[in-house]
Amino acid sequence: MKKSISVVIPNYNGSNLLKENLSYVFLALKSSGIDDYEIIVADDASTDDSISFLQNNYPKIIVVQNKTNQGFSGNTNSGIYKATKDLILILNSDVQLQENYFIPLLKYFDDDKTFGVMGRIISMSNDKIQDGAKFPSYSFAKIISTKNYLVEKRNSLYSFFLSGANALIDREKLLQLGGFNELFNPYYGEDVDLGISAWRAGYKLYYEHNAICRHPNSATIQKESSKKVKLISKRNKLILHYLHLQNFELFIFFLITIFKINLKLFLLDFTYLKAFFSFLKMRREIKERKINNSKIWKLNLHQVKSFIIDNIKNDVVIKF
């Protein structure tokens, strides 16, 4: 059965990226035979000419204008809530979809258990792979979200989560999970949390090697100060672990965290402490989110990891 697609592009002062990359979106849709689609640009209170450019050059594109800066999750969710099609492609404005991009992806949604699928992300300048399938690097009291993997002679793999740069997701299932968790605003970790939550709800996430897009290094985050990025990253790591670890494992995680904080203080690095206090200020909201999510969760992290690993235990796995 043919699927309709809403392409949701979060934008913040990305006029130049929209000018450069929107044509690739239309090409990918047309070459994939997608006739029923809509393109939504969620604008995060841009101060450049993004809005006027879209209105003058792409009047059929739906523009959601946020009056204040919402961060990645909040801004992207405003586009998700506006979407009306079967599937939603979450697409970074700096990504260039290649021809026929959607063709190898649509078959996954014949399975009602599919939450979403991502394609291969390669460099702008060459074919070096930036993102493959996400490896479940989880051990006791520790979730690592930076490992990708590929398997020789296999194009379809399970993925621990979907990159926020090019995730094609079932709209109803995405709404069931509440979209991206806005506790992770302004950025970092929201795609990991969404993927883990989807697995725990009993859905499946995939990586498809034959769907290709190009992507530079993140230009938006590079503009931020390194101290701010580090603080947000550490805080969101605390949020992620609080949401998905349980009982004694969670207790051990925080013991390790307190030890790290004291070690960093000894080295006159106050970032960990600031991140911890920032986390504590949000603890009530984080706890409420965990309670609400637990109502639909069916699996724990151990079960999710085992499911993915069992699928590749006899294969040659390449991690990067």
Q: What CATH number is given to the structural domain containing 81? A: 3.90.550.10
pLDDT at 116: 98
pLDDT digits (tens, 9 = 90+) for 143-160: 999 999 999 999 999 999
pTM: 0.95
pLDDT digits (tens, 9 = 90+) for 259-297: 999 999 999 999 999 999 999 999 999 999 999 999 999
- DSSP string covering 180-246: S-GGGTTSSSHHHHHHHHHHHTT-EEEEEEEEEEE--S-HHHHTS-HHHHHHHHHHHHHHHHHHH--
pLDDT at 1: 73
Rama region for 202: left / alpha / beta (φ>0; ψ in -120 to 50; rest): left
Q: Scan for tokens 């969760």, then name that residue.
A: 297
pLDDT along the chain (320 residues), means of 10: 94 97 98 98 98 98 97 98 98 98 98 98 94 97 97 97 97 98 97 98 98 81 79 98 97 97 94 97 97 95 98 96
Backbone angles phi, psi at 26, to 5 degrees: -65, -40
Terminal Cα distance for the chain, rounded: 36
Domain with 194, as residue range(s), is 1-320
Residues pairing with 168 in the sheet: 89, 117
DSSP 46: -
HEC states along 262-304? Answer: HHHHHCCCCHHHHHHHHHHHCHHHHHHHHHHHHCCCCCCHHHH
Q: How many CB atoms lie within 10 A of CB 267?
A: 7
69: three-class secondary structure by DSSP: coil
Give me the number of domains the chain comprises. Answer: 1
pLDDT at 179: 98
Work out the mean pLDDT of the chain and round it to a whole number: 96
Of 168, 205, 157, 26, nearest in space to 91 by CA = 168
pLDDT at 223: 64
pLDDT at 188: 95
